[in-house]
Structure 1
Amino acid sequence: MNKMTKKERVIAAINKKEVDRVPFSIWYHIPQVDQDPVQLAEVQIEQAHCYDLDFIKMMPFGNYGAHDYGLSCTFFCTETQPVLERKFAIDDVKEWTELEPLPGYFGSHGKQLMLARQLQKQLKGEEIPYVQTIFSPLTTAKKLAGPRVFEDMRSHPEYLHQALAAITETTINFVKLNIEAGVAGFFFATQCANKEWVTEAEYDEFGVKYDLQVINAYKDITYFNIAHIHGDNTMFEKVASYPCNCINWHDRWVSPSMPEARKISDKCFLGGINEKWLSKAKPEEVREHIREAVLAAGRTGLMVTPGCVAELSTPAVNFYAARTAVEGL
């Protein structure tokens, strides 16, 4: 088979076509530079070249959406310590009613938009897809208030609906500007489609309703749209049915496994690497780990990636081992 470009390889995997090799990417937080979108773009491009990644999953700091609504964060700006929540934004249930839609270029959203524009500028026409990270509106609300969001959801649902509508509009404003900046798609992460926090009926009302509004704003425009299902006790089938063409979850340590998921969804799967284990593994173990994943999932409709962000302590040799492992599989 002729050698494919990175974009061709990604599109073939999305469409469950044959590939010259299984597409590969990794991602992890880059806290030493993630407050400077110009430098963050430089580092992410350097990583893409260093590890020969097939796409760039953009790595804004995880609280950027909530930061613009008053979440206070501690920025360490070191290689070993990601951003931490310092003080939640919501102290009283009525404060949910004070949230208003923001323009997509405001504050920390604006920095992440600049990241997309910088990737477009610095790649200089290089054909490597890059996808922007966005969060479900309920996930952003949880980042704003912590677990009390679920208490407020049940005691004053009307307040939370008002807040979620504002967050949704802000997210859509941000999405539209990223499309103009040339993103291939979006990595839509939900941390709340999880039975630890809500019932299925509650997620239908406070999650799915707003998730779909966001996804519908780009699903027919961008070609590489990923749903990331975060956590242990997830509502996999519910999120897997979203109008995204790729699914990413902790497949090596959370149900369903790749073979089980193939019976549930015909979408392209991103995964196969246990992101927690990777930091402690030996390079020869990594190669076998990847081989097992590809055998379990099949070569088509698969991109080898972590199930979530890789640990900051992961040695570079293990990323190289993972990349070389996909050759010939």
Structure 2
Amino acid sequence: MLRMTPRERIGQAIVGGEVDRLPYCFWYHFRTEAWFPQALHAEYRAPASDAVLQQYIDGMSRATYEFWRRYQPDLLKVMHDIPYETPEGLPFVRTADDWAKLTPLEPDRGHFGAQIEMLRCLRAMVPDDVPIIETVFNTFYYANKLCEGKLLEHLALAPDAVQEGLRTIQANLQVYARYALTVCDGIYYAVNGIGADAAPRAVYVEYFAPLDRALLESVADGRFNVLHLHGYGELYADLLADAPAAIVCWSDRSTTLSLAEGKRLFDRCVMGGLNELELPKMCRERVFQQALDARDSVGRRGFILAPGCSVPTDISPEVLLTIREFALGA
């Protein structure tokens, strides 16, 4: 078989076609890097200065490009490490009334705009035959961060007030995700709250499943979209099993849903097979063993070798290069 480009290889994996070798992907956050602006280390904050945002644009695009150049993943997942932008005077959501203070955000202004400009810069650096996907965290993720991990408490005490804030966040994310598709090849939609470690099933069903489904439907034309189900232990994967996405990813080594079970449930391309919690300590033989086990459990078609979630930023480059080595020979 002729050698494929990364875009062709991932495209074939998505449709369950034959590939010249196993496609692979991995990613990590950049917030702990020395170049990363100190002012942007939080998950959310009031609008940063233009100078800080430009520092982020320059540093993040360059760091992501260097990451790609070193490891050559077939699918380049971009980290959304810039904080969610909150109004001046609202350091975090403390009371029920604070949810109404969240405001609409423009996708091409402020923090969202900086991320878009960074994506444009990155796209100009990376060859066109490498698909780039932008990370979008879901409403549960940001809402829980904004109230310092007390989202379930807020919902129990003031559900109507919280839902007003959820609608604002959701609208912002949907507009941003649609806009991001104009400068990249797909959306990596990270669904938080869809596991027993984060929220009861009934809470996710009532408040968040409709929001996640709505966002996925709004970007359904993204050819390389990834649905990531975040969590460890029990996942409510069945609730989004038919949601639109080209690829599904989850921590198959650390949840109750195995890679093979997920392949049957989602009936599409799956991405995973490597335990991101154990990878930093794995020797070459163990990486090969786990990768081979994953490939054999689902086959080469419709499969992208990857960790179930982000790996630590300080992971040894040798471990990541070992993943690449396996894929190049598989």
Report the residue type matching 1:12 in the other structure.
Answer: Q
Q: Which runs of 5+ in 1 are unaligned?
A: 73-86
1:96 and 2:115 are equivalent in the alignment:
no
Aligned-pair distance for 1:89? 0.7
Map of 1:23 onto structure 2: 23
TM-superposed CA distance for 1:70, in Å, is: 5.7
2:164 aligns with 162
Q: 1:71 Cα deviation (Å)?
A: 10
SS at match of 1:270: strand
Give the C-alpha shift of residue 254 in structure 1: 1.4
User: What is aligned with 2:229?
Assistant: 229
Q: How does 1:19-58 map to 2 (within 5 A)?
A: 19-31=19-31, 32=33, 33-35=35-37, 36-58=56-78
Residue 310 of structure 1 aligns to a residue in which SS?
coil
Give 1:292's aligned residue.
293
Match for 2:141: what amino acid?
T
TM score, norm. by length of structure 2: 0.88
Deviation at 1:302, TM superposition (A): 0.6
Aligned residue in 2 for 1:69? 86
TM-score by length of 1: 0.88
Cα deviations across residues 241-273 of structure 1 (Å, max 9, x unaligned)?
321121111111212111222231212111111
Return the alpha-carbon distance in structure 2 between the equivalents of residues 286 and 71 of structure 1: 47
Structure 2 counterparts to residues 85-164 of structure 1, below 5 A: 89-123=92-126, 125-164=127-166
Cα distance per residue 1:121-164 (max 9 Å; x no partner): 223x5311010000111221011113321111122211122111
In structure 1, how many angstroms separate the alpha carbons of the residues matched to 2:80 and 2:198? Answer: 25
User: Is residue 240–residue 247 contact of structure 1 (8 Å, CA) maintained in 2?
Assistant: no
Q: Determine the structure 1 residue equivalent to 2:50.
A: none
Deviations 1:5-57 (A, max 9, x none): 11000010011111111111110111224542222222222222211211210
In structure 2, how many angstroms separate the alpha carbons of the residues matched to 1:103 and 1:145? 22
> Aligned equivalents of 2:278 and 2:118: distance in 1?
30
In the alignment, the residues of structure 2 paired with residue 5 and residue 240 of structure 1 have an alpha-carbon distance, to the nearest angstrom, of: 29
Q: What's the secondary structure of 2:313's corresponding residue?
A: coil
Which AA in structure 2 matches 1:93? A
- Kept in 1: contact 2:25–2:76 (CA 8 A): yes
Report what 2:326 is aligned to.
325
Q: Secondary structure at the match of 1:269?
A: strand
Tell me which moved more, 93-102 or 27-36: 27-36
Aligned residue for 1:310?
311
1:171 aligned partner: 173
Cα distance, 1:60 vs. partner?
2.3
Matches of residues 268-287 of structure 1 in structure 2 within 5 Å?
Answer: 268-287=269-288
Contact 2:263 2:269 in 1 (8 A): no
Asked if structure 2 preserves the Cα contact closer than 8 Å seen for 1:48 and 1:54, the reply is no
Structure 1 residues 54 and 142, CA, compared in 2 at 3 Å: closer, same or farther?
Answer: same
State the 1:303 CA deviation. 0.5
User: 1:174 Cα shift?
Assistant: 1.2
Tell me, yes or no, if the aligned pair for 1:227 and 1:239 is still in contact at 8 Å: no
CA RMSD of aligned residues (A): 2.0
* Structure 2 residue runs without a partner (length 5+): 38-55
Matches within 5 A, 1:175-254: 175-181=177-183, 183-220=184-221, 222-232=222-232, 233-254=234-255
- Residue identity matched to 2:300: R
- Does the 8 Å CA contact 2:181/2:187 hold for their aligned counterparts? no
Kept after mapping to 1: 8 A contact 2:19/2:301? yes
- Contact 1:274/1:306 (8 A) holds in 2: yes
Q: How high is the sequence identity, in percent, across the aligned residues?
A: 25
Contact residue 229 and residue 239 of structure 1 kept, 8 A: no
Contact 1:139 1:192 in 2 (8 A): yes
SS at match of 1:168: helix
Task: Give the CA deviation at 1:218.
Answer: 1.1
- Once the two structures are TM-superposed, the CA of residue 325 in structure 1 deviates from its matched residue by 0.5
Q: Work out the CA distance in 1 between the residues paired with 2:238 and 2:88.
A: 31
